[in-house]
Amino acid sequence: MKILLLEDDGKTASYITTGLTSAGHAVDHVTDGRDAFALGLDSSYEVMIVDRMVAGLDGLSLVKALRSAGIPVPVLFLTAMNGIDDRVEGLDAGADDYLVKPFAFSELMARIGALRRRPPLSQEKTRLKVADLEIDLVRRTAERGGQSIELLPREFSLLELLMRNEGRILTKTMLLERIWNFNFDPQSTVVETHISRLRAKIDKPYSRPLLHTLRGAGYSLHARQ
């Protein structure tokens, strides 16, 4: 695999480069974000490992610039910035994974392998659409008939699951396990509550309902003919 490494700490860069080369990978190492951007425009790289705090162009700006340029190479941030906000910021910028220093080399290798197995970004769906209801999986936004719909994070996850399974019946147990990570609890009304709230937002203002309850079976999202 051809890997581009942006790392300004010489000892860390040597450690990573030696390990990756020993594992059979080809590694180009740079210390300046501007150099990484110039090389990154060459789409032959299969993975980029990026430190955030580097000279020239910081890692976050680098990833944003690459994504703006339409470069889909998988990016793993390898950084000492370990706050939750830092991680969210990094992933929102377009990175595919985030590993905090100090790190175990075996974990770095495992994450690189996982990135390699992913389909290119261009093949991944970033939007889902059912009739005139549409969601943006990157921006986490929803709209119907061109009108923006405000959803809470759990409501968005529930809608995304229903849309990914358009026309299929999803049981209460399935929703509990996949959205709330619960085992089935017959006393819980969390699913009914969220379905009701979601229906009020995506269906009630519109003439054609999309979210359907199948009594005794579950829920399905589709446009009836």
> 149-203, pLDDT tens digit by residue?
999 988 998 999 999 899 999 998 888 888 877 665 667 788 999 999 999 999 9
How far from 38 is each of 30, 43, 215, CA to CA, in Å? 11, 11, 58
Is pLDDT at 92 greater than 90 in this prediction?
no
Whole-number pLDDT of residue 224: 73
Spatial neighbors of 153 by CB under 8 A, at least 6 apart, are 140
Q: CA 88, 176, 192, 203 torsion: positive or negative?
A: positive
- pTM for the complete prediction? 0.57
Q: What is the pLDDT of residue 49?
A: 97
Q: What pLDDT, on a 0 to 100 scale, did the predictor assign at position 162? A: 95
Kindly tell me if the per-residue pLDDT of 43 is higher than 70. no
Distance CA(59)–CA(49), nearest Å, equals: 10
**225 pLDDT more than 90:** no
Q: What whole-number distance in Å separates Cα of residue 146 and Cα of residue 142?
A: 9
Helices (H), 69-104: 84-92
pLDDT bracket for residue 123 (50, 70, 90): low
> How many Å apart are CA 168 and CA 196, to the nearest integer?
19
Please state, as a whole number, how many other Cβ atoms lie within 10 Å of the Cβ of residue 182.
Answer: 14
Give 3-state DSSP helix, strand, coil % of the chain, rounded to 5: 40, 20, 40
Higher pLDDT among residues 201 and 119, named by residue: 201
